[in-house]
Amino acid sequence: MKYEITKVFRFEAGHRVWKQNLAEGKTAVLSGYACTDNKCRNLHGHSYILEVTVGSDTLNEQDVVVDFYHVKNALKDLVDNVFDHSFIIDINDPLYPIFKEHFKDLKITVVDFCPTAEALAKYFYDYLVRKLKEANLEEDIKVVQITLWETATSKATYKGE
């Protein structure tokens, strides 16, 4: 893309990486298969920073890719009303039935994937791609990448195809 813009969002949310097992899998060799401290399997939260980058090879009639205002509003409901101050849980998480039954008064965001930073970045990417398609803008504006910061030192980026 010749032109790119990035809009930043912030939200607070909890989750758990229920599939985490640091002593197994191909990448465990990096730690010598020794780590058994699977902290992220516990319920915990983050002050997330979501960076949304969209782009185009041309500018529109107002000499912009798209106004930041429109990017903000395309994601505002999802960020503010669905994810912010919620607990994100995978419907396949063994704890999901307990949450569903016993925590009806809590704000729970149910997804169909383990809510890692990588998977959440893809979720936001796919959501914005759908919004652009619904607005018949998918030929004019492309989602370049989504970056989701979990902490000040840890982020995941999804770039799509």
Confidence band for 144, pLDDT divided at 50, 70 and 90: very high
Q: Residue 69: phi, psi to the nearest 5? A: -55, -45
62 and 140 Cβ atoms separated by less than 8 Å: no
85 included as an active-site residue: yes
Question: What pLDDT shows up at residue 29?
Answer: 66
DSSP annotation of 92 reads T
* Lookup result for tokens 């813009």: 5
Average per-residue pLDDT for the chain: 92
In CATH, what number is assigned to the domain containing residue 29? 3.30.479.10
Give the pLDDT mean for 137-150.
Answer: 97
Catalytic residue from among 35, 46, 70, 85: 85
| Residue, of 10 and 24, whose pLDDT is higher | 10
44 and 16 Cβ atoms separated by less than 8 Å: yes
Give the pLDDT mean for 102-130.
Answer: 96
**Beta strand extents in 16-153 (DSSP E only):** 44-56, 86-90, 108-111, 142-151
Question: What pLDDT shows up at residue 129?
Answer: 98
52 and 76 Cβ atoms separated by less than 8 Å: no
In angstroms, rounded to a whole number, what is the distance separating the alpha carbons of residues 152 and 154?
Answer: 6
Question: What pLDDT shows up at residue 18?
Answer: 86
pLDDT tens digits, residue range 35-93? Answer: 667 777 789 999 999 999 999 999 999 999 999 999 999 999 999 999 999 999 999 99
Question: What pLDDT shows up at residue 134?
Answer: 97
Question: What pLDDT shows up at residue 34?
Answer: 66
Catalytic residue from among 40, 46, 51, 118: 40
Domain residues for 85?
A: 3-158
In total, how many domains does the chain have?
Answer: 1
Q: Which residues of 92-102 are buried (b: 16+ CB within 10 A; e: fewer)?
A: ebeeeeebeee
CB neighbours of 116 closer than 8 A, spacing ≥ 6? 17, 156
44 included as an active-site residue: no
pTM for the model stands at: 0.92
pLDDT tens digits, residue range 21-46? Answer: 666 677 666 666 666 677 777 899 99
Question: What pLDDT shows up at residue 66?
Answer: 97
114 included as an active-site residue: no
Determine what percent of the chain is predicted with pLDDT higher than 70. Answer: 91
- Residue 74 tokens read as 């395309």
In angstroms, rounded to a whole number, what is the distance separating the alpha carbons of residues 161 and 143?
Answer: 10
In angstroms, rounded to a whole number, what is the distance separating the alpha carbons of residues 62 and 97?
Answer: 50
